[in-house]
A and B are shown apart, each in its own frame.
Chain A
Amino acid sequence: MGQRVGVVGAGMTKFVRRANETGKELAWQAAKAALDDAGMTLDDIDCVAMGTAPDAFDGVHMKSEYLADGSGAWGKPYYRTYVGGGTGVFVTIQGWWQVASGQFDTCLVVAEEKMSSVQPHPQGAFITIFDNMIERELGPNLLWIFALEMNRYMQVHGLDKRDIAAVSVKNKRNAADHPAALLGQADITVEDVLNSETLAWPVQRLDVSPVTDGAVAVVLAAEHVAKRTTDKPVWVEGVGWHLDTAYWTNRDLYYPRYVEYAARQAYEMAGIREPRKEIHIAEPYDPFDYKELHHLEGLQLFEKGKAPEAMKDGVLNRDGDLPSCPSGGLLGVGNPIAAAGLMKIAELYWQLGGQAGARQVPGDPKKGVAQAWGDLMQVGTVVVMGR
């Protein structure tokens, strides 16, 4: 479809609880790192796609305009995208359109979030997720939605919390090898997770990825440019995105069908017929441990209710048959909402290019899938990458 597009560079800041840097400075740090990684300067960039979640997090109006300078957009065609947590993968898709269409040959894709600005706690900025007319008066908090979904998922399939907690352990251990990680912990155990404070049953503290500050950037290039820039570009082979109803109380939360529809679009474009066999690495969105499993099922990599078993059997470990979140994910690296999704794209670029260092998945992986989610619980955004 159009020009073939490859990822030729990636960069990111460390993910931290509170950065002194403003959002502009964070965006620049990541964008500069990505350009340096690609061996390019801003002159080599034709357009910029920027992804960042609600203005309310950073607390600035027109966040895209505010971040334009740090995103390298001065004097260039530029736009911002925003689908909540799905943004990090979706902005990659938007960057892909720009190059695949043939209108541009290179695109700098940047994602940033500065969650620490919201006082007293970022939770307050999430309150608007709830309906202003019939939900907010109940005094809800964001954890309710996750707890309600997690409970339903566990109940419908009769799942054991241990197998879910194991995902948090896997990711935090994986993150110990990620230079940008906030929460990497090589010695965490399932008991630690099960003993952590219950916030909104069944959600416990260590099931949750804390929101952080951070930024990530990748450079996309058309095939003829990519081949001049690096001898190992990683191609964007399939993209998909899908939105389900915002009436979240009218659908069964146990299964993310919007992830399935987005995944099918992406797999079809990438020519993938048997995802479980053909995909070597998965980076599903993991703001909570159960979500990774939930999303792996939506991605058609495991049957409904069967991802926890795969966790238990070691399939999802870095040395397993289908490594999932070898980066350490949101649970391990941190969660600056939009940047977290783009971190997964960057991870696939590093993994498939053999550059992931201590996190490298063995066995010469060639195809990966990155997925993000969010909005009002109902967006699925998927990108398939390959060599």
Chain B
Amino acid sequence: MTSRKPRAVPDAPPRVILGPESLSDAQFRTAVGAIDHQVDARYAWDTGVAISRFLQGLKAGEIWARYCRQCRRTLVPPRMFCEECFRPNDRWVRVADTGTVNTFSICYIRWDMVKLDDPELPFVLTLDGIDNMAGFMHKLGEVAPDDVHIGMQVEAVWKPEAERTGSILDIEHFRPRDAKLRKAKAGAKRKPAAKTRKAG
């Protein structure tokens, strides 16, 4: 290490490199030597012991949780060990498919920033009947965005049994428990009137 006198601090603002070369969108698209590459990363993830059971439960129209008796927490999403107590937890517990809206958003764009015609309503569900905070992310449906509020009571709307595959989408969405707050699904058409009416 070369020894030198302590350097006096300069008065001028700090040196900032004048780079980088900033490109306009057009330059970026046409730069000589630029390369496009698509990553083709495909996966088959083993869902593990806990989530396998959870997804099996969803297929049956049920929500299952794990219980840790040391910290007395009911865990959803379920996991086989309690990350706070750092021990294997104790048993499976079935929980209700109703809860409240812990928080929500009204989202007008898709993951690639393309605008949506109808906004989506992602929310965090806090399940009923559990003392600790337990639940998962899902979407609200059958409700006008302006009617959604934190604390709103909701219930799961399940897909018909034949359409359930063991996925988070086996729950179509959550809707308000209060029927007055519900509205028809977007794009729902009226059923055409029957040509003949049943007598009586």
Q: Do chains A and B touch in the complex (CB under 8 A)?
A: yes
* Residues of A126-163 contacting chain B, CB below 8 A: 127, 131-135, 137-144, 147-149, 151-152, 155
Contact A26 B13 (CB under 8 A): no
Contact B150 A249 (CB under 8 A): no
**Which A residue sits closest to B1, measured CB to CB?**
A44
| Alpha-carbon distance between A138 and B21 when the two chains are bound, in angstroms | 39
In the bound complex, residues from chain B placing their C-beta under 8 Å from that of A225 are 1
In the bound complex, residues from chain A placing their C-beta under 8 Å from that of B108 are 198-201
Q: Return A203 CB to nearest CB of chain B, in Å.
A: 7
Whether a CB of chain A sits under 8 angstroms from the CB of B47 is yes
* Residues of B1-27 contacting chain A, CB below 8 A: 1-4, 6-25, 27
Contact B20 A249 (CB under 8 A): no
Whether a CB of chain A sits under 8 angstroms from the CB of B107 is yes
| Alpha-carbon distance between A229 and B2 when the two chains are bound, in angstroms | 10
Contact A252 B9 (CB under 8 A): no
Contact A26 B135 (CB under 8 A): no
Whether a CB of chain B sits under 8 angstroms from the CB of A105 is yes
Instruction: Tell me whether A26 and B4 are in contact in the complex, defined as CB-CB below 8 angstroms, given that A59-B39, A138-B169, A350-B14 are known contacts.
Output: no
Q: Interface size class for chain B?
A: 35 or more
How does the 8 Å CB contact mask read for A27-60 relative to B, with 1 for contact and 0 for none?
0011011001101000010000000000010010
**Which A residue sits closest to B125, measured CB to CB?**
A249
Q: Return A70 CB to nearest CB of chain B, in Å.
A: 12
Whether a CB of chain B sits under 8 angstroms from the CB of A228 is yes
Contact B15 A33 (CB under 8 A): yes
In the bound complex, residues from chain B placing their C-beta under 8 Å from that of A251 are 133
Contact A200 B110 (CB under 8 A): no
**Which A residue sits closest to B110, measured CB to CB?**
A141
| Alpha-carbon distance between A14 and B22 when the two chains are bound, in angstroms | 9
Whether a CB of chain B sits under 8 angstroms from the CB of A356 is yes
Whether a CB of chain A sits under 8 angstroms from the CB of B154 is no
Contact B106 A231 (CB under 8 A): no
Instruction: Tell me whether A151 and B28 are in contact in the complex, defined as CB-CB below 8 angstroms, given that A18-B22, A36-B15 are known contacts.
Output: no
Residues of B in contact with A (beta carbons under 8 Å apart): 1-4, 6-25, 27-28, 31, 36-37, 39, 43, 45, 47, 51, 54-55, 75-77, 79, 83-84, 102-113, 119-120, 122-125, 132-139, 145, 150, 167-169
Some 7 contacts from A to B, beta carbons below 8 A apart, are: A21-B21, A32-B17, A143-B105, A200-B107, A232-B9, A245-B83, A250-B75
